[in-house]
Amino acid sequence: MLNFLVEGIFFLLSLWFKFLIEGILFLISMGEAPAFYADNLPGDIQKKVDAQSECNERTVVVGSKIYVIDGVDHESGSTIGVRIFDKSSGEWINPTVLGTKPKSSKHHSAVLLNDDRVLVVRGNSDSSECLWFLEVGTPFVKEHEKNLGDEVVAWSKGVLGNAEKPIVISGPSGVGKGTLISKLMKEFPSAFGFSVSHTTRAPREKEQNGIHYHFTDRNVMEREIKDGKFLEFASVHGNLYGTSVEAVEVVADAGKICILDIDVQGARSVRATALDAIFIFISPPSFEELEKRLRARATETEEQIQKRLQNARAELEQGKSSGLFDHILVNDDLETCYEKLKDILCLRDGVKSACNTFPESVDLSIEHPVSKIDQKLMINCTTAEHEKASNNMYALNLSLIKGGAPGRTRGLNMYAVNPLTDDVNGTSHIPELNGIQF
């Protein structure tokens, strides 16, 4: 009798579970978004949010906070805006927004991922502008909230595919870093791009603004550092030097490997970021030779030369002993050193192959219901204008995402899927059509 009862309960439970799963799969196959991001707010709070909201906005709930993502920012009028409604205090918060903001959007979707970031998909845009991450609780955001004592959110642009590792080159002034980098850029112009740093030092005779450095005022640079625009910065020989997030990302966006010429303090800061780089230290054959090269270059005053030589001793100590660098190269004979550098970078036989190719661009329609299955998002672009197209649904694989604010979120994988013939409900397999893999 007991057996019979248990079997009966099991049968009813399995039937209920089957209907539940089938119901969810049906919704997804219809291109409907499951309820996980259609926030069910209590009535009084919903009213408060509605009273302040424009029609073109999306809300995402994280704990006691409601993030309202507006198609147009009220202040700038040209970018997407972010406001926060705190349910516990009933107050609106205008957060400090870090990172490059996405351009305003007539229609966008917002999906919460792992409770610390929101994927925002901008409708009617191509692959370079459609995917954005709004970080709300990542370590980067938390660190800046601590420093600023303010509510912080940070934008990171989603980029399809991966870029190759950047190369950080450090070493004392006059050792030959610039000479080696110029040779590399000249021999492999399509493979490498130089990260143009900001500096407060005055330009040398042949240096051009925007090519060798972004020459800037100290107060402007200090404000931009506060605003989170720099990946790293340091005070070197009495001046401020820094690598902006943008300087590194524009090189990677062009599908090139980024080369950074920065001091040892900067290299240490970069090691602590999400930027996965190769660290190379260039050392002189002797201190006397270093001094000879610095003087022969004739770009500094005697006082500046003395300062650089003094700093060089400390840099040589740190560079060789800290374990910070993956490779140490002695620049004695220039050609020999250059050949060794090419060995490290696998540049033996001819041009290094380009790392990113994008065979076809993504073209999202204005209306694009988004649904999430495990680490994959289905973006449905079935609209009147796309009705006849066979590839009107995209699958976006988020399982390999890397990086994030400050900078880009890379490693996104997007496939065109035909909802009529492909297994779009499957959680384990999403077919790649036409070999479109970004």
Ligand X SMILES: Nc1nc2c(ncn2[C@@H]2O[C@H](COP(=O)(O)OP(=O)(O)O)[C@@H](O)[C@H]2O)c(=O)[nH]1
Ligand Y SMILES: Nc1ncnc2c1ncn2[C@@H]1O[C@H](COP(=O)(O)OP(=O)(O)O)[C@@H](O)[C@H]1O
Whether residue 348 lies in the annotated active site? no
Distance of alpha carbon 335 from alpha carbon 299, whole angstroms: 23
Whether residue 58 lies in the annotated active site? no
We find the least distance from the C-beta atom of residue 325 to ligand X, in angstroms, to be 13
Query: Residue 131 in contact with residue 396, Cβ under 8 Å?
Result: yes
Could you say which of 66, 175, 258, 262 contacts ligand Y (CB under 6 A)?
Answer: 175
Residue 204, number of CB atoms within 10 A of its CB: 11
We find the least distance from the C-beta atom of residue 180 to ligand Y, in angstroms, to be 7
Pick the closest to residue 376 from 428, 411, 422, 434 (CA basis).
428
Identity of the residue, 177 or 376, whose beta carbon is nearer to ligand Y in the bound complex? 177
Distance of alpha carbon 107 from alpha carbon 127, whole angstroms: 16
293 binds, among ligand X, ligand Y, none (CB under 5 to 8 A by kind): ligand Y
331 binds, among ligand X, ligand Y, none (CB under 5 to 8 A by kind): ligand Y
From 58-66, 80-88, 171-179, 345-353, span contacting ligand Y (CB under 6 A): 171-179
Identity of the residue, 197 or 392, whose beta carbon is nearer to ligand X in the bound complex? 197
We find the least distance from the C-beta atom of residue 207 to ligand X, in angstroms, to be 8
We find the least distance from the C-beta atom of residue 237 to ligand X, in angstroms, to be 6
Identity of the residue, 249 or 261, whose beta carbon is nearer to ligand X in the bound complex? 261
From 117-125, 170-178, 237-245, 402-410, span contacting ligand Y (CB under 6 A): 170-178
The amino acid present at 96, given as its one-letter code, is: T
Identity of the residue, 66 or 168, whose beta carbon is nearer to ligand X in the bound complex? 168
Residue with smallest beta-carbon separation from ligand X:
266
Q: Is 273 exposed, middle or buried (0-12, 13-18, 19+ CB in 10 A)?
A: middle
Residue 158, number of CB atoms within 10 A of its CB: 26
Helices (H) and strands (E) in the chain, counts: 10, 23
The 8 Å CB, 24+ separation contacts for 68-72 are 69/108, 69/110, 69/118, 69/120, 69/134, 71/104, 71/105, 71/106, 71/107, 71/108, 72/104
Identity of the residue, 311 or 375, whose beta carbon is nearer to ligand X in the bound complex? 311
Identity of the residue, 308 or 410, whose beta carbon is nearer to ligand X in the bound complex? 308
Cα–Cα separations (whole angstroms), residue 277 to 86, 119, 129, 257, 272: 39, 26, 26, 10, 11
**Please, which of residues 234-253 interact with ligand Y by CB under 6 A?**
none
**Please, which of residues 322-351 interact with ligand Y by CB under 6 A?**
331, 334
Catalytic entry in 204, 223, 295, 313:
204
Pairing of strands 278-283, 327-330: parallel
As beta bridge partners, residue 397 has: 376, 413
Identity of the residue, 290 or 412, whose beta carbon is nearer to ligand Y in the bound complex? 290
Q: Mapping DSSP to helix (H, G, I), strand (E, B) and coil, where does residue 54 land? A: coil
We find the least distance from the C-beta atom of residue 243 to ligand X, in angstroms, to be 4
We find the least distance from the C-beta atom of residue 332 to ligand Y, in angstroms, to be 6
We find the least distance from the C-beta atom of residue 194 to ligand X, in angstroms, to be 11
Distance of alpha carbon 317 from alpha carbon 135, whole angstroms: 39
Pick the closest to residue 154 from 337, 424, 406, 363 (CA basis).
406
Distance of alpha carbon 428 from alpha carbon 386, whole angstroms: 27
For residue 153, give every residue at least 6 positions away whose Cβ sits within 8 Å of its Cβ, in sequence order, or none: 67, 82, 84, 95, 96, 97, 98, 134, 135, 136, 141
178 binds ligand Y (CB under 6 A): yes
262 binds, among ligand Y, ligand X, none (CB under 5 to 8 A by kind): ligand X
**Please, which of residues 278-297 interact with ligand Y by CB under 6 A?**
293, 296-297
171 binds ligand Y (CB under 6 A): yes
Whether residue 271 lies in the annotated active site? no
**Structure token pair of residue 381:** 């672009």
Residues within the interface to ligand X (CB under 6 A): 173-174, 178, 197, 201, 232, 234, 236-237, 241-243, 261-263, 265-266
Catalytic entry in 58, 83, 308, 408:
308
Rg of the Cα atoms in the chain? 27
Could you say which of 46, 179, 304, 311 contacts ligand Y (CB under 6 A)?
Answer: 179
Q: Mapping DSSP to helix (H, G, I), strand (E, B) and coil, where does residue 384 land? A: helix
Catalytic residues: 204, 297, 308
**Which residues form the interface with ligand Y (CB under 6 A)?**
171, 173-179, 293, 296-297, 331, 334
